[in-house]
Structure formats: C-alpha cells, structure tokens
Chain A
C-alpha cells in the first residue's frame, strides 16, 4: 500500500522495492493440523462482520418480529395468565424462547446465502482453497452464529426494556453465548444440508418457510412441554430448539433446567449437522 508507479518493475532489485511483487513470489507457510479449523472459522466470521458493517438494514428489520412477539404476545398473555410459566411472569418465561426462535429464523435461511454464493462463484472459489469441506462448513456455521449473537443481544435489550429481569453473571452469559452459537450452528447446517439436497434457492425458501413454524411450535419456546398433547411432547423431545430454550431459560432466569443434557444435545446436534452439511456441500459445487 505505498504510492508507487502503476506498472511494477520487471525485476525488483531490492526486496523492499515499492510497488513490486516481491511479497507475491513466496507462498505463505501452510497451517496444518488443528490450527486450520480456528483460522477458517475466524476468516468466515470476519467476512460476516465486514458485510454487516457495510449494510446494517438487516439488523434493524430483523429486530421487528421478536419485538412484536414480546410486546404483543408476551404482554397480552402475561395479563390473561393462560399459559403456565413455572411461577415467573409469562413475559420473562417467553423472552429466552424468543431469543432462540429469532436466531433460529436467521440460521434456517442461511442456506440461501450459500446457494447464492454457489450461483455467484464465491463458494466455488472457496472450495478451491486449502480448506477441508468440514472446516468450510464449520466456518460458515459460526459466521451465521455472528448474526445470531447480534440478534440475541438485540432481543435481550428489548426484553430488558420491557422489564424482564435477566442475569448479569458473566459465567452464565458465557453459557448463553455458547447456547446461541450452537443452536445457530445446528440450524444453519440443517439449512445447508437441505440446500445440498434441493439445490435451488426457491425450493429451499419454500422448505425453510414450511419448517420454521412447526419447529417453533413443537418446542417449549412458547409454553412448557407439560401443556402439550403427548404426541407433540415426543416431537419436542427430538427438537434441538427445545434444548436450546431450556438452557437459555436456566441460564438467564435461573429457573430449574437440565443444563448438562441441553448442552450435550446441542453439541451432538451441531456435530451431526456439520457432518451432514459437509457431505452434501460437494453436491452444490457440481
């Protein structure tokens, strides 16, 4: 980045020659082993942050829906006391559910971005870099988590403004971050997996829209599983969203929860998601 003549000199006598290509003659030393994965995850997250810095409209528009859920649904049902909520105000009970729901909505459509990157050649080129498929998928999954984290903070601020009292214990907040990242990683991998099967943006959009609401309603985000009919309880028991909500509730509100089980399920689901998405990513490239 120095002021230099437009055309590079054919041979640079001094290695520091301004405007030369001296740095481009030697390939960088390859990272190997375990170092590759964190480096790729960081690279993908940096890109996601850069994009958000250039265009923040998505952040604002994404805040509307969860705000409405808390403001209208939450306030109303707090007043009419129809839903059992473990002895805390319903709005408090609902807030972690909305954090999980709104971050899931972002993640479930992440595959659309992947298909767009496929169509535009961005993905093609990333697949020709020294990045194993699994590292690329993991990187993308956590890049989706960057958006989800920001969304979670926004929802928490809205909830706090509405008078929900949440924890400020840093350890518990760290747990919240992990739960949000894992949930988002799982759902974005689910999305990429579906993208790898259906291959087009329109179909993925349709499937995404078809499954988000069922995933949301068949979870404990809005009401406790004990209030569900038996068949729905079974669905909820295999829905990772329920475990994420349970963890968030336990961490943020201090209500009884099953943290070890929740995190075990979230880790396992993420691992399975990354594996499935890595296998199917190749189909997108063909």
Chain B
C-alpha cells in the first residue's frame, strides 16, 4: 500500500496552529497528530474553526514554518510537496457544473501530471470507485448532491493521494446519500490504505466511521481520542451507569452555553448556502 519511502509515521502534525481573520481567532493553538492510515475526525459546531484548520494544512492559508507538517513536509516551505500528497474536497461543492463528470476528473489527472497513456484508465477507475461510471459522461450540473460529492471524491482520488482531506463531506445531504458517501470513502480507504482527515458536525457519523476524533470548540481542541475512549471516560466521570453519546461528551467538554454560542450568523449562513446548493 504505502510505497517504501521512509517518512515519519505521522500524516499530519500541527504544532501550536493559530490563524486569525483580523480580530477573529479562528484557530487558537491547536496541537494534533494524525497517524498514517487512520480516519481522523475533526468535530465541532459551525464556527469552531475546522475549515480554517483544514485550509492551513492544505497550504491555502499561509502559516509560519514549523506549524504544520504533512508526512514530514513543512506546509510553509514545501508547498508543492505537500500538495502532491493531498486529495482535498472543500466544504462548498466544487465540481464544475459546465463539464461532464469525466472531464472534471480528467482535469485533476492533468494538473497532477498523470501521463496521457494512463489518464483514461486512472480517470475510469476513480469514477468507478465512487460508483459514477454510468453517469460519467453526463454534465455534472445534472448530478444530485450526493453524486457531486462522490464526483469530488473521484477528483481527489485520481492523483493517488496519501492523505484525503474532506471538509464536511456530508453537509446538507439526505441520510441515504450520506451513508453512500461514507461507504465509498471507507471502501476506497480499505483498498488504498490512505489516511483520511475529515471534518463534520454530525457526531453520529464520527462515532461510526472515525478511528480517532478531536472535539473542537472556539478554535481549540477540547478533547482527543477514540470515540469509545471518550465515551467511556465520560461514563466513568458521570458514574451513574447511563451510556453517553459522543454528543454528550461534546457538551461536557465544551461547557454550557453551546446552544447560544454555536456559530455566528455568517457561519450559519455559509452552512445553509452549502446545504441549499446541494439541495
């Protein structure tokens, strides 16, 4: 699965990661490590800073050197090396509606330097891996929300990334499409062994699919571990025998006032925008 090149076992290392938009401290000192091969979930309500953290790892937002490393490469000084290792699916729907599914994937094969003789084969396999082989030559504008997400997954897969970064891959989808998107992610991961870093604010998904999770609130990581461990810890702390959910853990670590503070207006509006585009 992994090509025998010697790298550290860590896919992503963030050391004291900070990022501010003017006065807003979107990410405020995050330390975390994603181990190669795992599915790591970054959880938190709207406005917690998940997207900002992801964008720092993807080299989209400038960070000082030493803060973010991807398979040992510094996101500040080795941008191209980092990008070659990444498959990135942003929070907005990012497939081009005026191209067919196949053309959308081909573009990413081209910009990742897939040679011409391999291109059709790779693009075909990527589309097949996400179950879009039959719809490949339709315009992406005619796809349903779940299909667009799977198309974006194919775009990310075509370059054989070692780290797949998915920002709210199931936001705004109906339950069936959500399950389908996750099943394709898990199948691809099983077949390729790639590391997956995913953000979501659906706690149930994280509990079901993630090996480890970090609970983020107001730019900081409040708890980190396997979902089972976090739940077991809270159960012990409560000591009343009831079985808490990951959501209860979140309420516990984030403190009170979650409902009132969960996301400013613009965060909610953004989320709604994405959701309505998925429709």
Interface string of B101-135 (1 = CB under 8 A from A): 00100111111111100101110111011010100
Q: Tell me if B60 is interfacial: C-beta within 8 Å of chain A.
A: yes
Residues of B within 8 A of A21 (CB): 125, 129, 188, 191-192
Contact A30 B88 (CB under 8 A): no
Q: Which residue of A lies closest to B191 (CB)?
A: A21
Report whether B88 and A128 are in contact in the complex, using a CB–CB cutoff of 8 Å.
yes
Contact in complex: B122, A47 (CB < 8 Å): no
Report A50-88 residues with CB < 8 Å from chain B CB: 50-51, 54-55
A30 & B94 in contact (Cβ 8 Å cutoff)? no
Q: Which residues of B are in contact with A by a Cβ distance under 8 Å?
A: 1, 3, 58-62, 80, 83-84, 86, 88-100, 103, 106-115, 118, 120-122, 124-126, 128-129, 131, 133, 139, 155, 157-162, 187-188, 190-192
Smallest beta-carbon distance B89→chain A, Å = 8
Nearest B residue to A4 via CB reads B128
Residue of A10, A40, A46, A121 with highest tally of chain B CB at under 10 A = A121
Cβ distance A113 to chain B, nearest Cβ, rounded Å: 10
Contact A130:B111 (CB < 8 A) given known A122-B96, A125-B155: yes
Chain A contacts with B in 5-37, Cβ cutoff 8 A:
6-8, 10-11, 19-31
B113 lies within 8 A of A122 (CB): no
Query: Closest CB of chain A to B240's CB: distance in Å?
Result: 42
| Contact status A24-B88, CB under 8 Å | no
Given A19-B125, A30-B113, A121-B93: 19 more A-B contacts, CB < 8 Å: A1-B121, A4-B133, A10-B190, A23-B121, A24-B122, A26-B3, A28-B112, A28-B118, A39-B110, A40-B111, A46-B110, A54-B100, A122-B96, A124-B92, A125-B90, A128-B60, A128-B86, A129-B83, A130-B80
B122:A51 contact, CB within 8 angstroms:
no
0/1 per residue, A130-152, Cβ < 8 Å to B? Answer: 11100000000000000000000
State the CA gap A119–B97 with chains docked (Å).
13
Given contacts A25-B160, A120-B92, A122-B94, contact A286 B113 (CB under 8 A): no
Within 8 Å of chain B (Cβ to Cβ): is A43? yes
Closest CB in chain B relative to A239 CB, distance in Å: 33
Say yes or no: B160 contacts A27, CB within 8 Å. yes
Contact of B60 among A24, A43, A50, A124 (CB under 8 A): A124
Chain A residues near B95 (CB-CB < 8 A) = 122
* A20–B125 CB distance below 8 A: yes
Question: Does A169 make an interface contact (CB < 8 A)?
Answer: no
CB of A23 to closest CB in B, whole Å: 5
Q: Number of contacts between A and B (CB, 8 Å)?
A: 136
- A285 proximal to B (CB < 8 A): yes
- Rounded to whole angstroms, the CA-CA distance of A10 and B188 in the bound complex is 9
**3 nearest interchain CB pairs?**
A121-B94, A1-B124, A121-B92
- Residues of chain B lying within 8 A (CB to CB) of residue A30: 84, 113
On whether the beta carbons of B94 and A28 are closer than 8 Å, the reply is: no
Q: B192–A130 contact, CB under 8 A? A: no
Q: Please name all residues of chain A whose beta carbon is closer than 8 Å to the beta carbon of B3 when the two chains form the complex.
A: 26-27
**Measured CA separation A170–B126 after assembly (Å):** 43
Would A27 and B187 count as touching, CB distance under 8 A?
no
Q: State the CA gap A2–B62 with chains docked (Å).
A: 42
* List of B residues within 8 angstroms of A50 by Cβ: 99-100, 103
Contact residues in A for B60 (Cβ distance below 8 Å): 124, 127-128, 285-286
Q: Looking across the interface, which residue of chain B has its beta carbon closest to that of A1? A: B124
Please give, as numbers and ranges, the residues of chain B lying within 8 Å of A121 by CB-CB distance: 90-94
Q: Name 5 interchain pairs, CB-CB below 8 A, sorted by A.
A: A28-B114, A124-B90, A129-B83, A132-B80, A286-B61
Asked whether B161 lies within 8 Å of A27 as measured between CB atoms, the reply is: yes
Report the minimum CB–CB distance from A166 to chain B (whole Å): 34
Note all chain A residues with C-beta closer than 8 A to B110: 39, 42-43, 46
Look across to chain B and name the residue whose beta carbon is closest to the beta carbon of A42: B110
In the complex, whether A174 has a CB less than 8 A from a CB of chain B is no
Distance from B229 Cβ to chain A, minimum over Cβ atoms (Å): 28
Whole-angstrom CA separation of A47 from B110 in the bound complex: 10
A8, B187: Cβ atoms closer than 8 Å: yes
Chain A residues contacting B125 (CB-CB under 8 Å) are 19-24
Bound Cα distance A50, B140 (Å): 13
Whether A126 sits at the interface, judged by CB under 8 Å, is yes
The interface residues of chain A lying within 8 Å CB-to-CB of B118 are 23, 28
Residues from chain B with a CB closer than 8 A to the CB of A19 are 125, 128
Q: B133 to chain A: which residues have CB within 8 Å?
A: 1, 4
- Taking a contact as CB atoms under 8 Å apart, the answer to whether A2 and B124 are in contact is yes
Q: Which residues of A contact B131 (CB under 8 A)?
A: 6
Contact A24 B83 (CB under 8 A): no
- Name B96's closest neighbour in chain A (CB-CB): A122
* Other-chain contact of B192, A25, A43, A119, A125 (Cβ < 8 Å): A25
- Least distance between B149 CB and chain A CB atoms (Å): 12
Q: Is the CB of B59 within 8 A of A128?
A: yes
**Which residues on A sit within 8 Å (CB–CB) of B108?**
125, 129
| Nearest B residue (CB) for A139 | B111
Contact at B157–A7, with CB atoms within 8 Å? Answer: no
CB-defined contacts of A10 to chain B, threshold 8 Å: 190-191
Q: Among B89, B103, B115, B157, which residue has its beta carbon within 8 angstroms of that of A47?
A: B103
User: What is the distance, in angstroms, from B235's C-beta to the closest C-beta of chain A?
Assistant: 34
B-chain residues with CB within 8 Å of residue A6 when the two chains form the complex: 131
